[in-house]
Amino acid sequence: MFTEVVSIGSKNGIQIYDLRRGAKLAQCMGVSIGGRQGFGMSDMWVAAVNETKAVCHVYTLNRGDSGAKLVFPFPEEIACVQVLDDGRYFVAGSRTGRILVWETASGRMVGAWDAHYGAVTALASDVGVLVSGGEDAVVHVWLLSQALDRQALGGAGVAPIVTMAEHTMPISAITIPQTGLLAGRTRVYTAARDQTCKQWSVRMGRSDEGYAGEAQLLATFLYPAAVNDIAVDRGETRVFAGTTDGLFQTNLYACTKSGADAVGDERVESELAALGGASDAVFSNVHIEYPAAERHIAAVSLGHDGTLVVSASQEGAVRVWDTASRQCIRTISDKQLSAGVSQLSTWLAPPRLGGPKVLVGVGQQRHEAMAGQLSGGKVTAISFAPLQRLFRVNSMTEAGTLEAGVKSRLGDVNEDMTRFDAGLASNAAYGETARSDMTLLNGLRMADGSAKRQVADMQRQIEQLQRHSARTRRLNDELYQSAVTEWLGSRQKS
């Protein structure tokens, strides 16, 4: 049976409750959560940023365990965090505008780049994509494979593939309701202190120069006060906004041209804004207020089926609402929340907190030591190592492994090219030799089964050599071009 839980971050730590029954399941003490994204979670651990100092606290998700299992310093002050790929990667946005990426199992920093002017205030992710917002009122979309590859190769800089700069004040929240952003199957919702929530259509594709993208503003929702947090249901039919003047619900299917304050394109018919029909429209009179909610709503989170929404006020009042009737069905009262709540997160309960004991998900594998604990008692070991404080370009080679999808920078491009050319003939000659060898091998007709297997093995080896040759040349060409670009840039600066 699947159980939904809600995690509440406050000045006194993190409290985890059963969303439907209101029972307290676990707590993480000794850390002060001050931001809307002050902690991130997997199915086995919680990693939290201390508001008062640049320290990370890591907890195991066990009933009765409230103390941190790991405590270590961050390289700089962190404003928000995000967990990627089911806990395999940990992303942090710093107060200086940088984005830092770690591999949790090894603690290795695999990326660090300048993203915003001012603090990074919001992060959201989808498969292969990271979206960030900052105090500079700008939202960037980063292709993770491109960003981490350039970092591993020692590139001069990482550039976003899409930038959205329509907000006028710092970004407060970003949400991606569905998966498939890279394929263009979902939209991005951004909220800011300028009292607006914006709906974007983001398209990305591959060009001759690499991946490129564009963003189109579909609609703008204007609220009576600054927006602190937003939640969007998976069907993209409703937006829930927590503002400094209360909790509001916006029904996207009711936002048509006739109800808009302004429409940029007069040819637009009365279509649904949720489907992009009300392009560049501004809506301010379509919001439904939750009358019993507190005035200053700091955080909002939506249940998986969209029937329950949770709100938290700055004073620490946490309420669970029925979205159909807009009635409060439960109030979570805890003295630990009296100091003020800053973050809410609803998710399916992990095995140790009453969730299903699934060892391996679809398309996923779990380390044997981790998988074995799901059927046992408490979680005693987690795949989370203390995070490195410095990023090194050659850290992959120092670790002794070269993982798929992340390249390691070569020491001297020209020297390696010379060595490669000396060891092999030109591409044409090498390819012709390989093809002739394969033709000879294919012409053999051996009755013995073992000889046929040897021929097949040799064919596979030749094909692997061909692919390795092509990859090596392509990699060296890219590295040479990067080195020349970096050298020219340094010449221009000097």
pLDDT in tens, 201-226: 998 877 766 778 889 998 899 999 99
DSSP states of 12-62: TEEEEEETTT--EEEEE-S----STT-EEE-SSEEEEE-SSSSEEEEEE--
Lowest mean pLDDT among 24-28, 74-78, 467-471: 467-471
pLDDT at 402: 36
Residue 235 three-state SS? coil
Mean model confidence pLDDT for the chain = 79
Q: Specify the pTM.
A: 0.72
Let me know the angle formed at the C-alpha of 162 by 159 and 164, rounded to the nearest 5 degrees. Answer: 115
Distance, CA of 364 to CA of 355 (rounded, Å): 18
pLDDT at 7: 94
User: DSSP class of residue 259?
Assistant: G
pLDDT at 473: 79
Distance, CA of 355 to CA of 102 (rounded, Å): 27
pLDDT at 206: 74
Say if CB 35 and CB 78 are below 8 A apart.
no
pLDDT at 273: 42
pLDDT in tens, 472-483: 877 887 787 778
Residues pairing with 74 in the sheet = none
Which whole number is the average pLDDT over 85-114? 92
Which whole number is the average pLDDT over 164-186? 88
pLDDT in tens, 264-318: 443 333 334 443 444 556 766 788 899 877 889 999 999 988 899 999 998 889 9
The percent of residues in the chain predicted with pLDDT above 70, rounded, is: 73
Using alpha carbons, list the distances in angstroms from residue 276 to 121, 164, 251, 290: 27, 17, 14, 27
pLDDT in tens, 222-261: 999 999 999 999 888 999 999 999 999 998 876 655 555 5
Distance, CA of 392 to CA of 193 (rounded, Å): 37
User: DSSP class of residue 485?
Assistant: H
- Per-residue pLDDT band at 463 (split at 50, 70, 90): confident
pLDDT in tens, 338-357: 888 999 999 888 877 776 66
Cα dihedral 96→102→107→112 (10° resolution): -50
pLDDT at 380: 60
User: DSSP class of residue 478?
Assistant: H
pLDDT at 403: 40
Which whole number is the average pLDDT over 327-341? 88
Using alpha carbons, list the distances in angstroms from residue 418 to 407, 415, 466: 20, 5, 19
- Per-residue pLDDT band at 92 (split at 50, 70, 90): very high
- 362 has a pLDDT exceeding 50: no
pLDDT at 252: 85
pLDDT in tens, 102-146: 999 999 998 899 999 999 999 999 988 999 999 999 999 998 888
Lowest mean pLDDT among 177-191, 249-263, 365-379: 365-379
- 319 has a pLDDT exceeding 70: yes
> No. of H helices and E strands in the chain?
6, 30
Using alpha carbons, list the distances in angstroms from residue 406 to 148, 152, 321, 341: 7, 7, 45, 39
Residue type, 1: M
- 24 has a pLDDT exceeding 80: yes
- 31 has a pLDDT exceeding 80: yes
- 79 has a pLDDT exceeding 80: yes
The percent of residues in the chain predicted with pLDDT above 90, rounded, is: 37
Which residues lie closer than 8 Å to 278 by C-beta, 6 or more apart? Answer: 218, 219, 255, 256, 257, 260, 263, 268, 271, 272
pLDDT in tens, 408-441: 333 444 555 555 555 554 455 555 555 555 555 5
pLDDT at 82: 95
Query: Looking at per-residue confidence, does 68 or 352 come out higher?
Result: 68
Burial 195-214 (b: 16+ CB within 10 A, else e): bbbbbbbbebeeeeeeeebe
